[in-house]
Amino acid sequence: MTVNIKLPNNISYDIIINKLNSIKFDKKTVIVTNCTISSLHLNYIKKYLDIKNLSIVTLLDGEEYKNMQSIDTILNHCFEHKLNRSSLIIAFGGGVIGDMAGFAASIYQRGIDFIQIPTTLLSQVDASVGGKTGVNNKYGKNLIGAFHQPSAVYIDPFFLSTLPKREFSSGVSEIIKMAITFDKDFFIWLENNILDNEKNIKYAILKSVQIKANVVNTDEKEKGIRAVLNYGHTFAHVIENETNYKTYLHGEAVGIGMLIANNLSIKIGLMNKKEALRVKKLLESYNIPTSYIIKNTETFYEHFFLDKKSLDSKIKFILAKGLGDYTIKDNLKKEDIISVLKDFS
Ligand code: NAD
Ligand code: GLY
């Protein structure tokens, strides 16, 4: 199954959802991965890589290593191995590796090609598609980066067989996000089909990638509709920050964030309680946490303004409109937001 990205600037690439097939490349190539993925799956992908001049850079595993130091490690490796403008970087791992390998590719000698071989569900359905690359710094997540589209994305569900359950569910949360905001039929399908077998997982990946590709094709640089992919994220980022990125995986925080957003939707008449309950039930069926205690609603509210998406001091809320549709609001009353936050305190 193949989904195509076709951007107005003539950039086009395929996202191939299938068991890996031979990937042939004549020029120098560097695989960027981490120690966990390398020990689990490097031998598996090597079988499919028909590349004469291949080297590997293995980073430490963790969001805390998604920083400029790791980018320096990748770039130094590329210089030491004399990569040139026609060389290739392969991102082999989850979203952390994908974002970093892509960013390194975007700046090495002003930009070289890279391909994505995502190994987590979250990176297969979201992070590997669309060309957002970057790293974190002390001011926040993903604040340094570039839009740099991969030249191909190879999604092989085989990798998911070793993924810890919690990580899998974290990816499911992003799948549910796509369904709630863009596709009611897909949401209903998710309610009626458990993602516990290859057929269903492949279908859910395909639907999510199709939704994301449609969004990216119309708004690569997030001037409009692409922001909808951040549904639940405004709240999730505060939750992740308040808990020092230690308590919740990203998708878990997004799950809670979607529920807070849905209460806001209910408050202003965009969603009914029954619909919100269906979302909660679906998240709970994958053991995605659905409760969070906000200790101080004012502090939580102030945190919104630290998010890079609200640097202009207006907070943009992505809200679900029923199931399968969305709206973007930047003029909500503070008292409405605080009142919803109080539901969670
Ligand atoms: P991750 O990359 O940290 O991977 C999660 C964990 O799973 C890691 O420990 C990793 O080593 C391990 N792992 C990866 N593949 C495995 C496998 N097949 N078997 C066993 N273990 C495996 O986290 P993630 O959830 O994939 O991605 C989160 C990151 O993605 C964040 O940094 C986020 O900012 C970024 N992101 C980017 C975009 C984008 O559009 N660029 C979108 C969403 C998220
Ligand atoms: N995950 C959000 C985006 O790609 O825009």
DSSP string, 166-212: HHHHHHHHHHHHHHHHH-HHHHHHHHHS-S-SHHHHHHHHHHHHHHH
CATH of the domain at 29: 3.40.50.1970
Last residue of a domain, one of 161, 176, 206: 161
**Residues 186, 239: one domain?**
yes
Number of domains the chain is built from? 2
Which structure tokens are listed for 108?
A: 């090495």
Last residue of a domain, one of 96, 131, 161: 161
Strand, coil or helix: what is 327?
Answer: strand
Last residue of a domain, one of 134, 161, 188: 161
Q: How many CA atoms lie within 13 A of 178 on its CB side?
A: 24
Q: 250 in ligand 2 pocket by Cβ < 6 Å? A: no
CATH of the domain at 206: 1.20.1090.10
* pTM exceeds 0.85: yes
**Residues 85, 176: one domain?**
no
Does the annotation mark 85 as catalytic?
A: no
Does the annotation mark 77 as catalytic?
A: no
**Residues 93, 72: one domain?**
yes
**Residues 186, 226: one domain?**
yes
**Residues 324, 250: one domain?**
yes
**Residues 20, 102: one domain?**
yes
Does the annotation mark 217 as catalytic?
A: no
Question: Which ligand is closest in space to the CA of residue 227?
Answer: 2
**Residues 201, 249: one domain?**
yes
Which range marks the domain in which residue 85 is found? 2-161
- Among protein residues, the one whose CA lies closest to atom 2 of ligand 2: 229
Digitized pLDDT (tens) for each residue of the chain, 345 residues in all: 999 999 998 999 999 999 999 999 999 999 999 999 999 999 999 999 999 899 999 999 999 999 999 999 999 999 999 999 999 999 999 999 999 999 999 999 999 999 999 999 999 999 999 999 999 998 888 999 999 999 999 999 999 999 999 999 999 999 999 999 999 999 999 999 999 999 999 999 999 999 999 999 999 999 999 999 999 999 999 999 899 889 999 999 999 999 999 999 999 999 999 999 999 999 999 999 999 999 999 999 998 887 655 555 678 899 999 999 999 999 999 999 999 999 999
**Residues 122, 150: one domain?**
yes
**Residues 209, 135: one domain?**
no
* Burial status of residue 177 (CB atoms within 10 A of its CB: 0-12, 13-18, 19 or more): buried
Within the chain, how many helices (H) and strands (E) appear? 12, 13
